[in-house]
């Protein structure tokens, strides 16, 4: 018998750390589990419980749809709890319903901008200059002796914050409320504190650091106080008693404030903590705060406060030391074995009162010492001053994070024990939805590196890197990596939130998205200020379209359509042509390995060829989007523009044979994959020429951001699969496996971020955790593993692996909106065996290497053919 599980509202997994329900009428999706073969849904029924009311049972709907079903009930109300249960019936017998699913419980956030808790700040708080100390806020409050049914906190801050109630931390997350375009919108969180309260006397405390709100952001010196300087907290406590009575406690004039033991907390520089300035019991009702300062109520500058509808930043993992050693300069170094993103946790350390230890972080070693040059101006350093507790002290930073594998510890007191330190890995909670494994160990490590880089950089926003003085939401990186990201993790709601900021800032800027979102570039002088470029701002078109393809949810296209067309209309075009006007330098194939270390603009491929190829791509996407949204005039208009762009591209860059003006891997890969050629003969020429270029380079990579996602795919499309395999298996620099072969545990920004000599690339811009070039994983999933989407939302998909080289085994999986898809093949004794899993209510189109085809529904299937 089948059963319904995995109920979602608006693509959001339900749960206390996975985000709030943020709309009045969310769409509903569900997964159907069972062992039945060729099972398709024929009908469904939904029932919803609003608060303590009885279930409202809605009419049976005859439909095979289990994704993004319209909300059947009344509008949701702020702060209420709902429970949803669903049952389904097969297409073969629409009266034979499953059991009702276990209720999925959802907490509704505060909607319609009806936030009622004032923002409180320290009276006279000065602007932070060199340091950013934390500010503590507290108050006592009384409750009645009646039994508490539920107690909830809705909270947000200007800055980053943590809450304590009666001496215990609230929640398991970090760096709330994250980073949004604060001028436009601020996110709020929710915590259940029912078990933390007591009858009568209680206390609440909040620590607030500068974070992204007022702390240092950017590169080349960056800027502080971009959004404001007065850090503030806003809290609403809602208590409901068993007898039906309620109590509400808000942040107001009854609170007091003081500076805390965190003397400096900055995202780039790290944290300075003095345990001697702690206030023991400061969040307990017995604490005396007579000497603390009064607060003032300030206005929140954000236009709206919205529920956070995606996973909170939480601890993902904890890394223990794999090696501890002394450098040639007698420095103590801890190697955690994995380049990761998070902060240290010092356990049971003992030292005299006033003794200070320093921990500095870096991703790599150079000449046996900590390699800090790539950090640029970021100090990436934590300091802890002991209070002299004879029982030992524990410390972990609260308001910073580091991108690092190595930690240098200076001035440790006594003998260092490996149990004294661990590295807490953090990131926004999102379910793993994709994986890969094959018979080649280095390819497996490459795929792991892609996952680690994505996980590390998906923190509050999709960052470019997590370690240096940058950590920004570069649009170009996510534009090319988005399909890979959506295969590997359930990041729909995370990226949907980021796209809201892109759209809001774009509208305020007059039509052009920024190159980084949230946009802080305007706050300081830089080459990037006001920059417009293909690929980067094309994210406004590519990312929502890829979210639609992966989910099947048209809502993202409806929401972002204005943003898509605004960007296309804004692009400066040559008069009479649908091509980019050459009004300023394009970024082109950024970080082509042939470019000089200090000038990534000097790529082999004509930057305007790249820009015009991507212009055709986004015009095609926009036309398709308009068609999906039934905007017929728009669909025809953008289809005509795309056709003209294709013609103009051919006039400018393509000869009759198919030869391009830029005879490069990137140029041919883009023209082939985007469909820019006019006929099959040209495609054949381009494929052969690309193959020749790849062979001439001894299968080494010569693409940057633009070409990397497409070069192996272009070879595959044109029948050069063995060349594609030889490229991905190449170990010499530049190649995908060169970093792996020298011990990389994440994806690098440059193909040679670490030179074969063991020295760090001399360029100023060098990161060892930069996910963009990991977009090759998409080819690994689709071509090696054989799993490729056919219809948006994965209701129909292809299973057609293409074995190559000496790979004898390959497996990939993807947890689609309807359930788990698995593709597993092996070659043994000249026999190809293919095992696949198809979820219920889905169809797979299988093609074996010998050309045999099958179309199958749900179930576990096995196929064989000659290898």
Which DSSP string corresponds to 80-148? -EEEEEEEEEETT-TT-PPPPPPPEEEEB---TT---SPEEEETTPPPPSS----EEEEEEEEE-SSPE
Give, in order, the Cα–Cα distances in Å from 788 to each of 27, 450, 707.
26, 19, 20
Dihedral pair phi/psi, residue 578, rounded to 5°? -110, 70
Buried b (16+ CB within 10 A) or exposed e, 26-49: bbbbbbbbbebeebbbbbbbbbbb
Enter the tokens of residue 255.
């609170």
Q: Is 351 exposed, middle or buried (0-12, 13-18, 19+ CB in 10 A)?
A: buried
Of 340, 399, 59, 79, give the one whose Cα is nearest residue 210: 399
What is the separation of C-alpha 779 from the centre of its chain, rounded to a whole number of angstroms?
Answer: 20
List the one residue out of 298, 264, 275 whose CA is nearest residue 134. 264
CA distance 602 to 397: 41
470 noted as active-site residue: yes
- State the burial class of residue 457 (Cβ atoms within 10 Å of its Cβ: 0-12, 13-18, 19+): buried
Number of CB atoms found within 10 A of residue 367's CB: 11
Query: Catalytic one among 470, 505, 713, 811?
Result: 470
Task: Exactly one of 162, 164, 236, 749 is catalytic; name it.
Answer: 749
Provide the 8-state DSSP code for 311: P
Which residues does 412 contact at the CB level (< 8 Å), separation at least 6?
332, 357
Could you give the C-alpha distances from 579 to 251, 576, 619, 622, 626, in angstroms and in order? 55, 9, 11, 16, 21
CA distances from 246 to 148, 151, 586 (A): 9, 10, 60
> What Cα–Cα distance (Å) separates residue 241 from each residue in 22, 105, 150, 171, 197?
25, 20, 7, 22, 12
Copy the structure tokens of residue 58. 């809605």
Do the Cβ atoms of 361 and 378 come closer than 8 Å? Answer: no
453 touches 746 (CB < 8 A): yes
621 burial (CB, 10 Å; 0-12 / 13-18 / 19+) is: buried
Q: Is 749 a catalytic residue?
A: yes
What stretches of 363-452 adopt beta strand conformation (E)? 365-366, 369-370, 381-385, 393-395, 402-410, 421-428, 434-438
CB 607 within 8 A of CB 583: no
Residues designated catalytic = 470, 749
């Amino acid at each position: 018998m089948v059963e319904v599980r995995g109920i979602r509202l608006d693509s959001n997994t339900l749960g206390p750390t996975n985000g709030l329900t943020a709309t009045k009428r969310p769409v509903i999706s569900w997964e159907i589990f069972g062992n039945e073969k060729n099972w398709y849904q024929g009908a469904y029924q939904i029932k919803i419980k609003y608060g303590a009311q009885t279930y409202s049972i809605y009419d049976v709907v005859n439909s095979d749809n289990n994704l993004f079903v319209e909300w059947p009930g009344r509008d949701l109300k702020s702060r209420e709890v709902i429970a949803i249960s669903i049952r389904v019936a097969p297409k073969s017998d629409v009266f034979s319903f499953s059991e009702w699913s276990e209720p999925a419980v959802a907490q509704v956030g505060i909607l319609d901008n009806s936030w009622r808790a004032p923002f409180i700040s320290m009276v006279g708080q000065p602007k932070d200059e060199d340091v950013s100390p934390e500010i503590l806020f507290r108050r006592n409050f009384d409750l009645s002796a009646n039994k508490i049914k539920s107690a909830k906190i809705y909270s947000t801050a200007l800055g980053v914050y943590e809450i304590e109630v009666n001496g215990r931390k609230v929640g398991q997350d970090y760096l709330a409320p994250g980073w949004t375009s604060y001028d436009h919108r601020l996110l709020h969180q929710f915590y259940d504190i029912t078990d933390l309260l007591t009858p009568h006397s209680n206390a609440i405390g909040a620590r607030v650091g500068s974070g992204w709100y007022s702390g240092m952001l950017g590169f080349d010196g960056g800027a502080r106080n971009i959004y404001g300087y007065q850090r503030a907290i806003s809290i609403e406590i809602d208590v409901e008693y068993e007898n039906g009575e309620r109590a509400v406690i808000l942040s107001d004039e009854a609170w007091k404030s003081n500076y805390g033991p965190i003397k400096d907390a900055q995202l780039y520089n790290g944290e300075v903590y003095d345990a001697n300035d702690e206030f023991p019991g400061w969040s307990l009702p017995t604490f005396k705060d007579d000497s603390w300062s009064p607060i003032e109520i300030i206005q929140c500058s954000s236009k709206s406060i919205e529920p956070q509808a995606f996973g909170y930043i939480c601890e993902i993992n904890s890394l223990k030391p794999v090696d501890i050693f002394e450098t040639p300069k007698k420095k103590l170094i801890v190697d955690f074995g994995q380049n990761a993103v998070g902060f240290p946790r010092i356990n049971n350390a003992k030292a005299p009162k006033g003794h200070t230890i320093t921990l500095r972080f870096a991703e790599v070693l150079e000449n046996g010492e900590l390699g800090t040059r790539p950090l640029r101006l970021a100090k990436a350093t934590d300091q802890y001053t002991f209070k002299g507790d004879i029982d030992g002290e524990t410390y972990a930073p609260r308001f910073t994070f580091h991108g690092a594998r190595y930690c240098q510890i200076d001035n440790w007191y006594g003998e260092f024990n490996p149990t004294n330190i661990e590295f807490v890995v953090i990131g926004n909670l999102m379910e793993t939805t994709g994986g890969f494994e094959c018979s080649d160990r280095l390819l497996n490590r490459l795929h792991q590196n892609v996952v680690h880089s994505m996980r590390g950089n998906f923190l509050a926003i999709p960052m470019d890197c997590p370690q240096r003085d940058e950590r920004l939401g570069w649009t170009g990186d996510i534009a090319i990596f988005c399909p890979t990201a959506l295969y590997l993790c359930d990041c729909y709601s995370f990226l949907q939130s980021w796209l809201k900021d892109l759209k809001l800032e774009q509208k305020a800027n007059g039509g052009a998205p920024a190159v980084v979102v949230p946009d802080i570039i305007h706050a300081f002088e830089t080459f990037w200020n006001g920059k417009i470029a293909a690929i980067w701002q094309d994210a406004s078109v590519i990312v929502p379209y890829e979210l639609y393809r992966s989910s099947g949810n048209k809502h993202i296209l409806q929401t972002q359509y204005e943003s898509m067309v605004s960007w296309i209309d804004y692009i400066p075009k040559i008069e009479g042509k649908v091509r980019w006007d050459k009004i300023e330098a394009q970024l082109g194939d950024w970080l082509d390995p042939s470019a000089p270390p200090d000038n990534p603009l000097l790529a082999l491929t004509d930057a305007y060829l790249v820009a015009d190829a991507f212009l055709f791509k986004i015009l095609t996407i926009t036309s398709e989007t308009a068609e999906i949204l039934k905007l017929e005039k728009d669909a025809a208009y953008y289809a005509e523009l795309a056709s003209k762009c294709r013609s103009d591209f051919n006039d400018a860059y393509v000869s009759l044979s198919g030869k391009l003006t830029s005879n490069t891997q990137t140029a041919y890969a883009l023209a082939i994959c985007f469909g820019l050629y006019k006929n099959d003969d040209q495609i054949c020429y381009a494929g052969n020429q690309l193959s020749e270029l790849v062979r001439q380079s001894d299968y080494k990579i010569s693409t940057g951001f633009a070409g990397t996602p497409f070069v192996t795919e272009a070879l595959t499309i044109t029948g050069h699969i063995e060349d594609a395999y030889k490229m991905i298996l190449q170990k010499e620099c530049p190649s995908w496996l060169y970093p792996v072969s020298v011990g990389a545990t994440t994806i690098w920004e440059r193909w040679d971020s670490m030179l074969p000599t063991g020295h760090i690339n001399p360029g100023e811009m060098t990161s060892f955790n930069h996910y963009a070039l990991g977009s090759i994983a998409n080819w690994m999933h689709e071509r090696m593993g054989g799993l490729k989407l056919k219809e948006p939302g994965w209701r129909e998909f292809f299973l057609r692996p293409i074995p190559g080289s000496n790979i004898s085994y390959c497996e990939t999986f993807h947890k689609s909106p309807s359930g788990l898809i698995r593709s597993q093949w092996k070659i043994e004794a000249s026999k190809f065996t293919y095992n696949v899993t198809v979820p219920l209510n889905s169809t797979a189109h299988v093609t074996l290497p010998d050309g045999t085809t099958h179309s199958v529904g749900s179930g576990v299937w096995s196929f064989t053919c000659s290898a």
